[in-house]
Structure 1
């Protein structure tokens, strides 16, 4: 039976094989449209579609005015998620990244007023919030103390924009509120060594935070404290978080920011924080390139249960002793051999 794959798929698969085998190394130029037409005997539309397949899978990247080149698909590192990770929208510890290891989290950094890392907007105690109000935050994620000084760590930069808006249906369901209720929506963009790392969007019900000092996540006296630290300031104890991991194609705006092709596979993480009484207080969506970053989970295991000692007076169950095991077996019979002596019945004389 002949190959039933469409021609564009056969071209894409052959180019992908050459990339995987190193015939076309990272950074090499993919043959031009005219070259692909000549080699595969295909039309313009067919070879263009094959190249789009490679771009969507992360095998190729286009450079305006220069052509299409083999992309670097080697994973940059892992985002380790778990109880040790700070509950910021990054919610992870970077391991094996561009420059080593750093935990997601931040503290206010001094800096001149202006749109640059380290700047904190003016704190506003108990701010009035109107729909459409916007606040911005910028910062660095510093290296935690105790890390080995010789270990090169990623230079992590983030930018955030908060807007008072209404909850869309999916977000309202996750927060346990009514569609259209007011929420604080904060959008984050993370860079690791100037490379796109992660996009995140967080929502918090303004019914809980609207007239408090924690209304703006990246502004005010409790900015950058994480979900637990900020909500603790208003008497709400956050005790657990739930994550749902999935994947989906990248939208055009996401692809432009993350440096990939529209339609390329992204890893998505839906994270929701819950208070001690079980109500959700914050939920977020994070997206990152599935071909460059891996999610790693540290799952502590409970100690193995220890068998309880037998109660006093309870009968002890034991296995049979060797003699008792043999007692139930039939004993071999004997017969008199012609030459004398006993020989087990059923044996054959030589």
Structure 2
């Protein structure tokens, strides 16, 4: 589609977007009012409003009650490295999600037992009513929230073992591979699927973002001989994360 064929609201949004990108409208600058957009671009109020909605949906601007619409601070993107390699001594929960030894992260976690949710049951090859340990994580890098994660482990595997609670006991805070090895479950395969969707209110509150803005979701499952022993959803703000994969060649 050529520029001239675009709907008017997209043409206006495109011009304002370029001004934000090139710095003409810098961070915290006030976006032109609806009346000014209407006057400068010769469009209707409806077109001006829709153009602003586009920029808000893209996360470039934010509305402030009673004040107007302002250019958001340009987010600093952080690299999230995914790798099958785990160096000795780096087998922590944070390292499991960020295989970069330059990152000194911290995390909070809480665990509880529950019936396996339907979608998770399919991933873990379980049936309705089977019990799992559900653990929620919030990861920080230099104090800033960078990702949230929810994991599920079948209690049929971990119940009455020292690794029942991922963050407690003799192997608390270690990665899945190390914890499972301690009870004779040798992980030999990890599957990850990357997707994108709007973030939930809870996710974006934890990550310091705006509900509805897109997040990247890494759906990860550890296997032992074809049997899933843990699955997790790792959620990152799409505008602040770049996912890099290191894949071994055999």
Report the TM-score, using the length of structure 2 for normalisation.
0.85
1:162 positional shift = 1.1
CA contact (8 A) 1:73 1:292 kept: no
Matched, 1:199 2:204: no
Tell me how far apart the structure 2 counterparts of residues 2 and 206 of structure 1 sit (CA, whole Å). 57
Matched, 1:166 2:115: yes
- SS where residue 93 of structure 1 aligns? coil
Moved more, 279-288 or 173-182: 173-182
**Structure 2 gap ranges (5+):** none
Give a deviation string over 1:244-288, Cα, whole Å, max 9, x none: 11111222332232233333221110110011x221100000111
CA contact (8 A) 2:195 2:217 kept: yes
- SS where residue 162 of structure 1 aligns? strand
Q: Which residue of 2 aligns with 1:57?
A: 58
Q: 2:232 aligns with which of 284, 287, 294?
A: 284
Q: Cα RMSD (Å) of the superposition?
A: 2.5
Q: Which residue of 1 aligns with 2:99?
A: 93
Matched, 1:42 2:44: yes
**Structure 1 gap ranges (5+):** 96-100, 103-142, 144-155, 303-350
Bigger helix fraction = 2
Pair member with larger Rg: 1
Q: Which residue of 2 aligns with 1:105?
A: none
- The 3 A distance-change label for structure 1 pair 19 and 265 is same
Tell me how far apart the structure 2 counterparts of residues 15 and 38 of structure 1 sit (CA, whole Å). 14
Tell me how far apart the structure 1 counterparts of residues 107 and 66 of structure 2 sit (CA, whole Å). 31
Q: Which residue of 2 aligns with 1:236?
A: 185
Report the TM-score, using the length of structure 1 for normalisation.
0.62
1:243 positional shift = 0.7
Matched, 1:211 2:160: yes
Tell me how far apart the structure 1 counterparts of residues 99 and 121 of structure 2 sit (CA, whole Å). 29
CA contact (8 A) 2:3 2:11 kept: no
